[in-house]
Amino acid sequence: MTITTPLLDFDFNSIKESVSWNNPSKKELRMHQIHVYPAKFPSFLVQKTINHIEKKKSTPIETVGDIFCGCGTTALEARLNQKKFWGCDINPVATLISKTKRDKYNQKILENYLDNILVDFENTRTLPDGISNHERLNYWFDSVQIIDLYTLIDSIKKNVPEGKYQDFFLVGFSNILKKTSRWLMKSIKPTIDSKKVAQHVIPSFKKQIKSMIKAVEEAANKIDDCVESKIENKNFLSIKHKEPFLDLLITSPPYVTSYEYADLHQLSTLWLGFVTDYRDLRNGTIGSIYRTTIKNEEKKSLNEVGLNIYNDLLKTGAKNKTSVLKYFLDMKETVNKSYELIKDGGFATYVIGNTKFKGVYINNAKYLAQCLLDTGFENPEILKRKISSKNLTPYRDSNGKFSSDKRHRKVYSYEFIIIARKP
């Protein structure tokens, strides 16, 4: 539905469910599944949004963008739909996965590289002191896994030239790290699983790469790598563009009470050498709890929806309430910068859900919709969809793991698709 009343008085929960936006009409490509990723939104939403907007626009969509491109869902779907793409993400693990997912590969070359990597692995056993004594790696991995993982990544870099083929194998390497560690699987918090038996490195890697090669085979005739696609490892809020160039923005920003993405990706960032301390990647992320100083004039710039939520939090005496304020300020700036990137007559599409923090209902969707209106976007269209992955397990336990136990914390099972046009 299109919002025509003041947002402050509008109840988003009263919006009827748009059933046709709940589930895909066909199975998504395996390329979308080559690496697990937190809060990944369904690929069919990109195709559906493109079709939806093209019925509204008087001119065709040429360029699609995603400012929180994550693991590259929008990037791949843009190519599948013959649309140019531009995207960015602050996390280097995310952009590595994105670039790998949207590219096209020769299956035989991949198989030959895999054989060479495995042969080299069997003939190599070296481990620098800096790795064997690394406090964080020893926390997550047994010594046998550390030796095997170091040997494996060394074999990848020795046998595969830098470029998209090496990136392909590094993504495969990245996706086995949690399986071969003590990490509690399917948890949104970095948690040790004391009962877990870590998988062996080489069997896991071979299975992972063979699965990825099957994905390549399936997508071979569907991906056109001649379609322009640019992905940048940058903080969107720091990017400057001279003029608008996007016809359609499709993105899914983090929620206000979201976990620290840098912490969830720490195994990959450490092993792939992106940082020496994974906590460095917290800097600049939307709504990070590690920014504690907010100026009074910044608080005053919030719209009334955001201020009301923040004031409700103040009444609870909740810790980390500053991170909520930072999130609202960052999202306000995000919408402003999005407006600058989109051509006149173009559209912005945000996929976002609501949650609770210290008992306070955090209406991320309403706040975002108000920001769109404040910035100059025209009457936003709001669609409500059921999150299919949460239908059977709508609760989380104390470790953040999905659960069907009603005694655990309930997770909201709906999210909103907010579509607004730039005049």
Helix (H) or strand (E) segment spanning residue 73: helix 73-80
Supply 138's token pair.
Answer: 């020893």
Give me the half-sphere count of Cα atoms (radius 13 Å) on the Cβ side of residue 187: 16
Whether this prediction's pTM lies above 0.85 is answered by yes
**What is the reported pLDDT for 291?**
57
**What is the reported pLDDT for 393?**
46
Residue keyed to tokens 């600049």: 284
Pick the CATH number of 7-92+224-261+276-421 from 1.10.1200.10, 1.10.10.10, 3.40.50.150, 3.90.15.10: 3.40.50.150
Pairing of strands 63-66, 246-251: parallel
Find the Cα–Cα–Cα–Cα dihedral 163, 168, 172, 175, rounded to 10°: 80
**What is the reported pLDDT for 392?**
41
**What is the reported pLDDT for 388?**
66
How do the pLDDT tens digits run along the chain, 423 residues long?
666 566 778 888 889 999 999 988 889 999 999 999 988 889 999 999 999 999 987 788 999 999 999 999 999 999 999 999 999 999 999 999 999 999 999 999 999 999 999 999 999 877 776 677 788 889 999 999 999 999 999 999 999 999 999 999 999 999 999 999 999 987 778 899 999 999 999 999 999 999 999 999 999 999 988 999 999 999 998 888 889 999 999 999 987 755 577 788 999 999 999 987 777 777 767 766 665 567 777 778 889 999 898 888 888 877 767 778 888 998 999 999 999 999 999 999 999 988 887 788 889 999 999 999 999 999 899 999 988 654 444 444 555 454 555 544 455 688 999 999 999
**What is the reported pLDDT for 12?**
84
* Length in residues, the chain: 423
CB 255 within 8 A of CB 368: no
CB 84 within 8 A of CB 75: no
Residue spans per domain, the chain: 7-92+224-261+276-421, 107-219
**What is the reported pLDDT for 390?**
46
Supply 194's token pair.
Answer: 């004391």
- Letter string b/e over residues 352-372, b meaning 16 or more CB atoms within 10 A of that residue's CB: bbbeebbebebbbbbbbbbbb
What SS3 class is residue 244? coil
**What is the reported pLDDT for 115?**
98
